[in-house]
Amino acid sequence: MLAEALGLSAVLFIIGVIGVLIRRNAIIIFLCVELMLNAVNLTFIALSRYYGMGGQVFVLFVMTVAAAEASVGLAIIISIFRHQQTVDLRNINVMKG
Amino acid sequence: MDNYGLFYQFHFYLFGIIAIVAAVTFVTRRSPVAAAMWLVVVMFCLAAEYVMLDAQFIAAMQVLLYAGAIMVIFLFVIMLLNLGEASDVSDIHGIAGKLLAGFIGVVFLAEVGFLTRNGLPSGKYVAGRDYLSQQLAQYGAVGAVAKPLYQDYALAFELTSVLLLVAIAGAVILGRKESSRAR
B27 vs A45: CA distance, rounded Å: 24
The full 3-state SS of chain A, as one line of letters, equals: CHHHHHHHHHHHHHHHHHHHHHECEHHHHHHHHHHHHHHHHHHHHHHHHHHCCHHHHHHHHHHHHHHHHHHHHHHHHHHHHHHHCCCECCCCCCCCC
Please check the confidence at residue A6 and state whether its pLDDT lies above 80: yes
pTM: predicted TM-score of the whole model, two decimal places: 0.87
Mean pLDDT of B85-113: 79
Which pLDDT tens digit goes with each residue over B4-63? 788 888 999 999 999 999 999 999 888 889 999 999 999 999 999 999 988 899 999 999
Residue of A nearest to B17 (CA): A8
- Residue B128's pLDDT is 63
Helix, coil or strand: residue B69: helix
Specify the range with the lowest mean pLDDT, choosing from A61-65, A86-90, B128-132, B154-158: B128-132
Which pLDDT tens digit goes with each residue over A28-49? 999 999 999 999 999 999 888 8
Which helix H or strand E contains B179, and what residues bound it?
none
Q: Does B67 touch chain A (CB under 8 A)?
A: no
- Residue B90's pLDDT is 67
Q: Model ipTM? A: 0.91
Give whole-number Cα distances, B75 to A4, A72, B8, B143, in Å: 31, 15, 34, 33
Residue of A nearest to B2 (CA): A1
Domains and their CATH numbers in chain A: 2-84 (1.10.287.3510)
Specify the range with the lowest mean pLDDT, choosing from B19-28, B64-73, B122-131: B122-131
Give whole-number Cα distances, A19 to A88, B126, B165, in Å: 14, 35, 30
Q: Which of A3, A45, A61 sits opposite B55 (nearest CB)?
A: A45
Q: Which of B62, B83, B127 sits opposite A27 (nearest CB)?
A: B83
**pLDDT range class, residue B180, cuts 50, 70, 90:** low
Please check the confidence at residue B165 and state whether its pLDDT lies above 60: yes
Under 8 Å CB pairs connecting chains A and B tally to 215
**pLDDT range class, residue A97, cuts 50, 70, 90:** low
Q: Which of B2, B16, B127 sits opposite A8 (nearest CB)?
A: B16
Closest CA to A19 of A35, A2, A41: A35
B95 vs B161: CA distance, rounded Å: 44
- Residue B1's pLDDT is 43
Q: Which of A57, A81, A86 to mutate to test the interface with B (most CBs of B within 10 A)?
A: A57
- Chain-chain contact of A18 with B57 (C-beta, under 8 angstroms): no
Q: Does B7 touch chain A (CB under 8 A)?
A: no
Closest CA to A5 of B97, B134, B57, B52: B52
**How many helices (H) and strands (E) in chain B?**
7, 0
Contacts of A29 in chain B (CB under 8 A): none
Q: Where are the strands (E) in chain B, listed by range?
A: none
Cβ burial B10-39 (10 Å sphere, 16+ → b, else e): eebeebbeebbebbbbbbebbbbbebbbbb
Closest CA to A48 of A39, A35, A57, A38: A57
